Structure 1
Amino acid sequence: MAEHSLGGTPPVSVTLRRSGRARRISLRISQLDGRVTLTLPHGVRDAEGLDFARSKQDWIRETLNRRPQETGIGYGSVLPIEGAPHRVVPAPGRRIVARPGEIAVPEGAVARRLQTWLRELARDRLVAASDRYAQALGRPYSRITLRDTRSRWGSCTSQGALMYSWRLVLAPPEILHYVAAHEVAHLAEMNHSAAFWATVERIHGPYGALRAWLRSEGNALHRFRF
């Protein structure tokens, strides 16, 4: 892959890649990091592909401008915790304390301290939810790990290991519960067949609105930089 600039103000960087499976020139903009990828079939010259990208500059810039802006974490920042906005304020003691509308964090490495606290809260919530749905399913999982994944909210291996993004604790609780039910359902169905979705509905209940929320709002949870 190679990097090219389309110029303009500000300049737009484009990653050019070739694919033997591609049948036409295509452009993709990642909603996670704003990377612009230009995919070319074999036999198409770089110059032809870049001309195509330049012809789409208005669309590229409009799409990039709609992306949520990254937000650093410090005193005065506002971030959602279990779906509710909390302002980060100084803590008088050594412990992080969450109150309605604000979260008090001790001085020194505020973002790192808060991330550690959020991961612990996420583990508590996800273990409880996974236990609940595994019991409803009648199948145990082997372990739970948390990561800061950008491409998926969770996963389940054939050995029964569950993985979740800790950022789910930023979303409303019902979103976290849906993802837990989704991954636990894979303990019975390692696919996304009709039987799988029926399993999700059996152990969780209706999920359509929650799935839609993740698609439309989930990317915004990645804008907070710890």
Structure 2
Amino acid sequence: MPQLLRRKPEPPLPDTINVAGGPLPLTVRQNPRAKRMIMRIAPGGGGLVVTVPRGMAARKIREFLDRHRGWVEERVSRAPDRVVIAPGAIVPLRGEATLLVHRGGRLVTRLEALVSEAGQRAPTDPHQQLLVGGTPEHFSRRVLDYLRREARRDLEAAVKTHAAVVGLEPRGITIKDTTSRWGSCTHDRRLAFSWRIVMAPPSVLDYLAAHEVAHFREMNHGSKFWALCRELCPEMEAGKAWLKRHGSGLHAVGVG
């Protein structure tokens, strides 16, 4: 009796895809509700995320990646340069370029203005510095801890102001490092925000807080929601535009 030919198992998908400039981390996510394959560049340009229907063959995913390699390379070339949190790096804080400085010892992490003669500093030069104590190996963690604390402080103040207008209090505020959204609100008024919003100008953070508080009254994005959001934050359109244009740059800041 002739033996049945067995199909060779497909090799697993790689963890990276080679594009101009080097390997790019690849993440493939199966979604039972997906009807087709969708790809996007991870915030900050740090990887490629492909969402596929459940059970999609690896061969078809590879073909999809090959067909859209040009699209991937074009998007990666436009992604902001990654900024590693380390001594000497310059990161935004409340919209201001900030120099990270390691001082060591028991110094409490604090912000100080950089003093210079008027007109001698270029617009892209840092106008303030973040002085960080502790040992070098804990530098990035201490910076992140500081940014998270400042984000919570600013967001709690903004939420309190807007919540007083709508007459409802939040049940809780969580600070996360989300990549798919800047903020969220549940039906029982629990808020979550990305700490990275503290790197944006204060008016942008205020818009984000107003946006989520507006969901206390309108759990949708209909006309009534946007009218309430605009009432809470008259600079709403400018805040939305800033996040759309510059938000990916905030995701480019991270630990090496």
Q: Deviations for 1:102-152, whole angstroms, at most 9, x for unmatched residues?
A: 111114111111111111111111111001101111222222121111111
Give the counterpart letter for 1:83 in structure 2: G
**TM-score scaled by structure 2?**
0.76
The answer on 1:96 being equivalent to 2:117 is: no
| Corresponding residue for residue 35 of structure 1 | 48
* Alignment map for 1:1-226 (pairs within 5 Å): 3-4=13-14, 10-11=22-23, 26-32=38-44, 33-37=46-50, 39=52, 46-91=58-103, 94-100=107-113, 101-108=128-135, 109-226=138-255
Question: What displacement does 1:49 show?
Answer: 4.9
Cα distance in structure 1, aligned partners of 2:231 and 2:19: 53
Q: Alignment partner of 2:206: what SS? A: helix
How far 1:82 moved relative to its partner? Answer: 0.5
Q: Do the aligned partners of 1:73 and 1:111 also contact (CA within 8 Å) in 2?
A: yes
Shift in Å at residue 52 of structure 1?
Answer: 4.2
1: distance between equivalents of 2:38 and 2:57? Answer: 14
Go from structure 1 to structure 2 and tell me whether the alpha carbon gap of 1:59 and 1:134 turns closer, same or farther (over 3 Å shift). Answer: same
Single out whichever of 212-221 and 177-186 deviates more from structure 2: 212-221
Letter in 1 for 2:83: T
Cα RMSD of the aligned pairs, angstroms, is: 2.7
| Residue segments in structure 1 that go unaligned for 5+ positions in a row | none
CA distance in 1, matches of 2:141, 2:30: 39
Deviation for aligned residue 1:54: 1.8
Structure 1 length-normalised TM: 0.85
Superposed displacement of residue 46, structure 1: 4.9
* Equivalent residues of 1:91, 1:104 under 8 A apart: yes
Residue identity opposite 1:122 in structure 2: A
Residues in 1 aligned to 2:247 and 2:175: alpha-carbon distance in whole angstroms: 17
Q: Tell me, in whole angstroms, the C-alpha distance in 2 between the residues paired with 1:7 and 1:85.
A: 33
User: Could you say what secondary structure the match of 2:50 adopts?
Assistant: strand
| 1:145-186 residue CA offsets vs partner (Å, 9 max, x unmatched) | 211111111111111111111111111101110000001011
Change (3 A) 1:121 1:19: closer
Greater Rg by CA:
2
Q: Which 10-residue stretch deviates more, 29-38 or 19-28? A: 19-28
Contact 1:15/1:37 (8 A) holds in 2:
yes
Unaligned runs of at least 5 residues, structure 2: 1-11, 114-127
Range with greater deviation from structure 2 (113-122 or 50-59): 50-59
Q: Which moved more, 1:89-98 or 1:163-172?
A: 89-98
Count of aligned pairs between the two proteins: 224
Note the C-alpha offset of 1:211. Answer: 0.6
Q: What letter matches 1:185 in structure 2?
A: A
